[in-house]
Amino acid sequence: MGNKIETKLLILTGMFLLTCFFVYGKKESKQVTQKPPLRHFLEKIDGFTVVNQIQLSENNYNMLALDDYTYTDYIGDNSKVNLYIGYYYSADKAYASHSPTICFPSQGWNIDSQPTTHSLTLGSHRINYEEIATSREGERELVLYWYQSRLLTNTEIYKNKIAMGYNKLTHNDEQHAFIRVAIPLKDSKSRKEGETTAKNFISAFYPKFVDFIKIAGQTETAPL
């Protein structure tokens, strides 16, 4: 019995390694068609108004190996909302982004709650995300975040890489992203109220983000 299980595991491991080699070993690059930058594409979101577009420093931009991004403050639903999306066009940047539980403490933020996993269904789309509460010098924020590979969402980076492999095989599409939505909990705003604002914002911006993904996926492939 044990030998049969070991044999099955070896076969599955071999298939996984062959798939990874096929998906990630191909030497090709994407030539992206004309499209508006991501930040411009998400300037108009129903019920929310842009109040600030934050420019990343060159060091941070290079460190994150970004191909495109938006880092924008909105006001709406009686609250401020901050949206960060780091966008990538190639699978070889699969580990360029990382969870707030890693980068927030290095910026002086405390993680006040363990990440909890949730999902939000919007029409035919299902968003799987994690949620944490953070604080720094009297400030409090509710943070929702997830990894995105084309139209698939995940809360763990290794699952996102598997999704990238699937998308490359089935759609010849490697684009992926990290999305973070932060809600300041000011003026005694409760976590529950913050969650409502975050979900309302995601419901408003996500359909436009899907449109961007579809436009950005209209690419031609050229060998290096």
pLDDT digits (tens, 9 = 90+) for 123-167: 999 999 999 999 999 899 999 999 999 899 999 888 888 888 887
Residue 2 lies in a domain: no
In the numeric block, which tokens belong to residue 8? Answer: 């099955």
Return the higher-pLDDT residue of 12 and 140: 140
Give the whole-angstrom CA distance, residue 84 versus residue 92. 21
Asked if residue 177 belongs to a domain, the reply is: yes
Residue 10 lies in a domain: no
pLDDT in tens, 97-131: 878 888 899 889 999 999 999 999 999 999 999 99
In this predicted model, what pLDDT tens digit does every residue of 24-65 receive, in sequence order? Answer: 454 454 554 445 789 999 999 999 999 999 999 999 999 999
pLDDT of residue 6: 58
> What gap in Å lies between CA 111 and CA 104, rounded to an integer?
8
Please write the tens of the pLDDT for every residue from 61-92.
999 999 999 999 999 988 999 999 999 998 88
Q: Would 168 be classed as within a structural domain? A: yes
Total domains in the chain come to 1
Residues 6+ apart with CB under 8 A from 185: 133, 140, 141, 142, 191, 193, 194
| Angle between helices 2-24 and 157-171 in degrees, nearest 10 | 60
Write the DSSP symbol of residue 155. S
Are the C-beta atoms of residues 94 and 157 closer than 8 Å to each other?
yes
Residue 200, domain CATH: 3.40.1000
**Could you tell me if residue 54 is inside a domain?**
yes
pLDDT, residue 219, reads: 52
- The band of 10, judged by pLDDT with boundaries at 50, 70 and 90, is low
Residue span of the structural domain in which 92 resides: 30-223
Helices (H), 25-151: 38-41, 58-63, 100-106
Identify the residue whose tokens are 């070991």.
6
Write the DSSP symbol of residue 137.
T
Closest by Cα among 146, 149, 151, 165 to 122 = 151
Residue 23 lies in a domain: no
